[in-house]
């Protein structure tokens, strides 16, 4: 088979499509005020952030989420090696996000800020592990089907989602919103649990089953809270400014106080408070505050047998 002659004209309208795409990019950049940006505009990469998060899971739980052939006597070596590798990748990704946020900040200042954050993040890992241990215990105690804490770590999507969230929230609080969202969406794509990295979640948190759970950006969840599948902690409406644009960052999601249980399919919307110790039944729709200790269930319509003749 002869090779194609590169001098032959392409059968495709390449030149016109390339030209039109360039024009579309130019128009977008003008509208966004980016046409005068200097140099390249790189962003954090999904692939590298995913690699860091996978490494951090193994670093935090080496004998459960690390390599299958890891021996206990090699734990410290493995953790140290993986941690150094992960932090080296992470500092580059943090610097990329900082360069997008503050493109005119001097390169040395960006490097210094990235290094300071990554160093600080590394020192948070022991406390993060202790907090995740509490989440594992909450799942084990909260699910009668759980046979061991190892099963929780290896098999429960809710635990995987909360590992990712607790890491993502650190980046969110530091203003590294793109990295935080990449971490959160990695867990979302794997588990079906959508927790915005801005959500504040207390200790001993447990999501059972998990598929379809949604927790909004400004939600505040207390300690020892349990959620079941398809629970939504969302916004009831979105405020607009004078120009009709959505107002960003305003508190618009629920506050769930300590020791609350929310069963499958419940939808809780707006900046309302679910009082301490309340139990919210399945498929309940709430847009008003719930007093502490309440038991809220969906009304069940009962019909007599006479309304449903058997036909037999």
Q: Does the pLDDT of residue 312 top 60, yes or no?
A: no
Mean pLDDT within 3-30:
86
- Quick one: tokens of 30? 């003008």
Residue ranges covered by each domain of the chain:
42-192, 212-312
Give per-residue pLDDT as tens, 34-87. 766 655 668 999 999 999 999 999 999 999 999 999 999 999 999 999 999 999
DSSP designation for 247: P
CA-wise closest residue to 283 among 300, 270, 271:
300
pLDDT band at 170 (very low <50, low <70, confident <90, very high): very high
Mean pLDDT within 194-223:
98
Mean pLDDT within 126-155:
97
d(CA 204, CA 207) in angstroms, rounded, equals: 10
pLDDT for 1:
47
pLDDT for 241:
75
Answer positive or negative: Cα dihedral of 195, 198, 185, 253: positive
What pTM, to 2 d.p., does this model score? 0.88
**178 touches 197 (CB < 8 A):** no
- Say yes or no: domain 42-192 is CATH 1.10.3130.10: yes
* pLDDT higher at 6 or 121: 121
d(CA 149, CA 133) in angstroms, rounded, equals: 9
Q: Does the pLDDT of residue 310 top 90, yes or no?
A: no
Write phi, then psi, for 135 (nearest 5 degrees): -65, -40
Which burial class, exposed, middle or buried, applies to 144 when counting CB atoms under 10 A from its CB (0-12, 13-18, 19+)?
A: exposed
Give the CATH fold of the 212-312 domain. UDP N-Acetylglucosamine Acyltransferase; domain 1 (2.160.10)
Q: Does the pLDDT of residue 300 top 90, yes or no?
A: no
Assess whether the region 42-192 and the region 212-312 belong to the same CATH fold.
no
Residue ranges with strand state E in the chain = 194-195, 200-201, 206-207, 214-215, 220-221, 226-227, 232-234, 255-256, 261-262, 267-269, 273-274, 279-280, 285-286, 295-296
CA-wise closest residue to 161 among 128, 135, 127, 123:
135
- Quick one: tokens of 145? 């089907």
Point out which residues pair with 285 in neighbouring strands.
Answer: 267
Mean pLDDT within 197-201:
98
Mean pLDDT within 197-220:
98
């Amino acid at each position: 088979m002869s090779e194609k002659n590169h001098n032959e004209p392409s059968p495709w309208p390449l030149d016109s499509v390339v030209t039109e795409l360039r024009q579309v990019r130019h128009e977008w950049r003008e509208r966004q005020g980016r046409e005068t940006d200097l140099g390249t505009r790189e962003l954090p990469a999904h692939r590298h952030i995913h690699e860091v998060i996978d490494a951090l899971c193994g670093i935090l739980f080496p004998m459960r989420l690390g390599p299958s052939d890891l021996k206990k006597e090699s734990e410290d070596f493995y953790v140290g090696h993986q941690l150094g590798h992960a932090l080296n990748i992470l500092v580059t990704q943090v610097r990329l996000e900082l360069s997008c946020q503050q493109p005119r900040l001097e390169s040395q200042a960006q490097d210094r800020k990235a290094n300071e954050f990554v160093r600080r993040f590394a020192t948070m890992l022991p406390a993060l592990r202790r907090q995740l241990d509490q989440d594992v215990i909450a799942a084990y105690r909260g699910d009668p089907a759980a046979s061991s804490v190892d099963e929780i770590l290896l098999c429960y999507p809710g635990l995987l989602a909360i590992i990712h969230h607790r890491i993502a929230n650190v980046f969110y609080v530091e203003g590294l919103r793109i990295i935080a969202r990449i971490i959160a969406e990695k867990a979302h794509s794997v588990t079906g649990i959508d927790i915005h990295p801005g959500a504040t979640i207390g200790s001993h948190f447990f999501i059972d089953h998990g598929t379809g759970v949604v927790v909004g950006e400004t939600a505040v969840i207390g300690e020892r809270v349990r959620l079941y599948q398809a629970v939504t902690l969302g916004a009831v409406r979105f405020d607009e400014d004078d120009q009709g644009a959505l107002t960003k960052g305003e508190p618009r999601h629920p506050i769930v106080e300590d020791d609350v249980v929310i069963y499958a399919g419940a939808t809780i919307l707006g900046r309302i408070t679910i009082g301490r110790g309340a139990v919210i039944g399945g498929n309940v729709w709430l847009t008003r505050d719930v007093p502490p200790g309440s038991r809220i269930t969906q009304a069940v319509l009962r019909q007599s047998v006479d309304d449903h003749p058997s036909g037999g």
